[in-house]
Structure 1
Amino acid sequence: MPTAFRLRTQPRPAPAGRGQLRWYGPGLLWMVSSVGSGSVLFTPRVGARYGYELLWLALIVTLLMWIMIREAGRFSVATGRTLLDGFRDVPGPANWAIWVIFVPQVVAGVVTIAGIAALVGSALMVGLPGSQAMYATVVILGSGALVLAGRYQGVERITSVMALVLVGAAITAAASTVSGDITTGLVPGVPDDLDLYFVLPWVGFILAGAVGIMWFSYWVAARGFGGAVDQSPSASDEAAEEKLADREEQVDRVRVWTRMMSRTAALGVVGGGLVIVSFLVLGAELLAPQGRVPDGVDVARDLTTLLSELWGTFGEVLLLTCVVVALWGTIFANQDGWARTYADATRLITGRVRRHPRRVYLAYVAVSMTLAPLVLFLLVRDPVQILSVGGIIAAAHTPVVVGLTLYVNRRLPTEVRPSLASQVALGCAGGFFGVFAIVYLLSLVGVRIG
């Protein structure tokens, strides 16, 4: 396999010992970005209908997500380039892969933030006076202002606190309700009354979608794993000189950073998986015995009511905190992640914003990630209807992003290229989501299987 990408020119020494603890922020940021609608909207409904029978499927998807974001992060650590920058070098018409990602994701970003804000508004109405519109507006504008005010370090600090609160609240709420044998769900099996098209949206929204895979590479780069991002016109330029004369030292440093990045990815995925399992428990233990499979906007209300019957006011506050932090944190992290993607795509396509990349990023935060979602929410209001558009794009894009990531990683220098096992695992992940995407998209045009 020919090498297309140079190794990062001057990787910094990796931290050791306790110093490594300060480098787990990208994993926590990714975790907060990933648990929104998939956890709150769909997971309790699946638990209400099937109990723990599909727990094994959630765990498999979680494992596949770790494989995918780890490989996305690998490219940035090894080359000092963003993943989207790597896609620019894929053979074919100029920048075709960037356009394929960029244009649909502009739509996905607007509709997803608007839909999740509508869910936050619906959840806050359960325990507080005020309207859905008021709370959704405050959430969109408030989180947008926070992203605009802070650089990466500030975003990381806020989301790290949100991540800890979310995991703690979700596990506490779930632990207070467990009475059945959750281990029965670890054995793969298909429910007798499986409704494939009830489960499909849940699978698609478990943890991050296609663009969430790319976000992890952006946050790894922004945090400085291995060093600063190289924004030169082409990192495959053979005329570029390596700044480290010792190639072996250069490779060793990149390998150490890659292992640390892999652990960071694992932390984010494990945290997100715990939240997913917690919401599945709440659905199985609180909703299923009541025979309730609520519509999306009613999930938070029903769970809050039932948990308050067990724990009183504390249970109501605990569940409401869990839901709001999950959804609001997702909006906050998504506004940063999508804006980074849009700004990077603009830089790569136009080649004219290298002097002021942050201004372009801030413009996308303000317009595409704050004002546009607010306008869409005020026009539509229904979170399920809004999020369905984002689900279509996520389903179609995930196998595309995975395939492109596999292509560019196979062209890394031999010393830091993923192993054959890692390549096969990434290919399997892409194949899994590819099948899911085909079935899901066929259902949208009226073609149903089974």
Structure 2
Amino acid sequence: MAETRATTGTGEQTSRPRKSSWKYIGPGIVVAATGVGAGDLVATLVAGSKFGYTLMWAAVIGCLVKISLAEAAGRWHLATGRTLFDGWRSLGAWTTVYFAIYVVVWGFIYGATAMSSSALPIVALFPDGPGLKFWAIVTGLTGLAFVWFNRYAVFEKVMTVLVGIMFVVVVYVAARVVPDVGASFAGLVPVLPDGSLLYTLGLIGGVGGTITMAAYGYWVNAKGWSNSSWMKVMRLDNRVAYLTTGIFVVAMLIVGAELLHASQLALTSGDRGLIDLGTILEDRFGPSTATLFLVGFFATSFSSLIGVWHGVSLMFADFVERFRAPADREKEHAGPAVVDRQQRSRPFRAYLLWLTFPPMTLLWLDEPFGLVIAYGVLGAFFMPFLALTLLWLLNSSRTPREWRNSWLSNGMLALAGLLFIVLCVQQVRELPW
């Protein structure tokens, strides 16, 4: 295989391109597992329960959009040798202000959400034990200790195990309900039933799409991929991850279509809807299937918790470093040594503590009205921010010419940006102003 003569943003010549291989798979699994949480499961189930297999095509398009976004984030890190936040800083001070506000407010609310979501299946599995608040605190402290004392290699292995549990459980449940194969293939034809627009947009934009998509490049560097010679490996890793996510989403749509749509059953809103599903599965297939599903529910929620605890803390550590000494960090080539240092840094650990302890207060108190609004607005704006800034960065001289966007990448990122703007407007309209 011929060597490439491309250079990174630091002027470092890249080495011989690595052959894409299954043995390297890892960061994509981590970002996909983190992005798919209990809320995504409920949203997919509800879409299946309301419209059967009709929106299957939207789930497929959603996976293609996420592949494009994650690939763009990883390509920026590998092609330039700079982190994503370094790229954002080059676009102007407004990105720093936005990220600073976002990461503080979002982390406070998300911490409580992740802990509660992880505790719900434990309470369902052990109804005579301690209550939700106790288990929420236990899962938060467990996530804190795990991320605090482990480096990326161990973190990736645990995330892979949790993804395996999620995948096996959901596919098993989908097989138990006996999918209608003909209707599944028919659902790949784009159709919009009456009242389905928002569910369609949610399926395309919601499942597997969070701030952790921006963390993908950091996990790529933590894996040891630090220049463009790893580009083929990164792309294979990303595609395998979102193919797994696609199967996962399709399986949940099947469960919603066969178990809920056919029987006209409804779920409680929010993560508690999965507890309802566990009860339905127990009535239909017995306690063993219901127990297995709750284990999968826990794996889904807890993988999101530790994924955010690790990935967003890395982003925060990078944010603080580049805010304090931007000139020094601009000369630094992003790679595993940088990530390892950031994992031991005070900002990394400070954000871990922020995700864990202050949000525990929300387990006893209703979320303050102002925080709910701020969280909703900032959250709605993040995915358009990510898609459009990547579109900007990867078409500019900041990226080596060889690795700038193709027409396909530009089309997918523009589509993602437009989609997320529509979802953003809708989410802001639905806020309790």
Verify same fold: TM over 0.5. Answer: yes
Structure 2: how far apart are the matches of 1:308 and 1:391? 35
Asked if residue 31 in structure 1 is aligned to residue 14 in structure 2, the reply is no
**Structure 2 match to 1:309:** 283
Matched, 1:182 2:184: yes
Shift of 1:375: 2.7
Q: Which residue of 2 aligns with 1:399?
A: 384
Distance in 1 between residues matched to 2:352 and 2:408, nearest whole Å: 42
- Determine the C-alpha separation between the residues in 2 that align with 1:365 and 1:308: 40
AA paired with 2:413?
L
Alignment of 1:45-56 (within 5 A): 45-56=46-57
Q: Is the 8 A contact 2:140 2:356 kept in 1?
A: yes
SS at match of 1:100: helix
Contact 1:7 1:78 in 2 (8 A): no
Runs of 4+ in 1 over 6 A off after TM superposition: 352-356, 385-389
SS in 2 for 1:88: helix
Q: Larger deviation: 45-54 or 436-445?
A: 436-445
SS at the partner of 1:66?
Answer: helix
Determine the structure 2 residue equivalent to 1:120: 118
* 1:419 corresponds to 2:406: yes
Q: In the superposition, relative to structure 1, how do residues 8 and 437 fare at CA in structure 2: closer, same or farther (>3 Å)?
A: farther
1:186 aligns to what SS in structure 2? coil
1:9 aligns with 2:9: no
Task: List gaps (5 residues or longer) in structure 2.
Answer: 1-6, 330-337
1:325 aligned residue: 299
2:250 counterpart of 1:277: yes
Deviations 1:228-279 (A, max 9, x none): xxxxxxxxxxxxxxxxxxxxxxxxxx2x421221111111211122222222
> Which range moves more in the overlay, 154-163 or 105-114?
105-114
User: Quick one: which amino acid aligns to residue 9 of structure 1?
Assistant: E
Distance 1:22 1:72, change over 3 A: same
Report which structure shows greater RCO (CA 8 Å, sep ≥6).
Answer: 1
8 Å CA contact 1:380, 1:386 repeated in 2: no
| Native 8 Å contact 1:37 1:116 kept in 2 | no
Task: Check 1:288–1:188 CA distance in 2 against 1; reply closer, same or farther (3 A cut).
Answer: same
Question: Which residue does the alignment assign to 1:266?
Answer: 239
Please show how residues 137-286 of structure 1 align to structure 2 within 5 Å. 137-180=137-180, 181-192=183-194, 194=195, 196=197, 204-209=205-210, 211-226=211-226, 254=228, 256-286=229-259
Structure 1 spans left out of the alignment, 5+ residues: 228-253
What CA distance in whole angstroms lies between the structure 1 residues aligned with 2:371 and 2:34? 18
Q: Distance in 1 between matches of 2:357 and 2:430?
A: 32
CA distance in 2, matches of 1:199, 1:416: 32
Note the alpha carbon deviations across 1:171-200, whole angstroms, 9 max, x for none: 1111111343222221111112x1555666
SS of the equivalent of 1:174 reads: helix
Aligned pairs, number: 408
Shift of 1:361: 4.4
Using the alignment, how far apart are the partners of 2:364 and 2:432 within structure 1? 28
Counting aligned pairs with the same residue, the percent is 26
TM-score by length of 1: 0.83
RMSD value over aligned CA atoms? 2.8
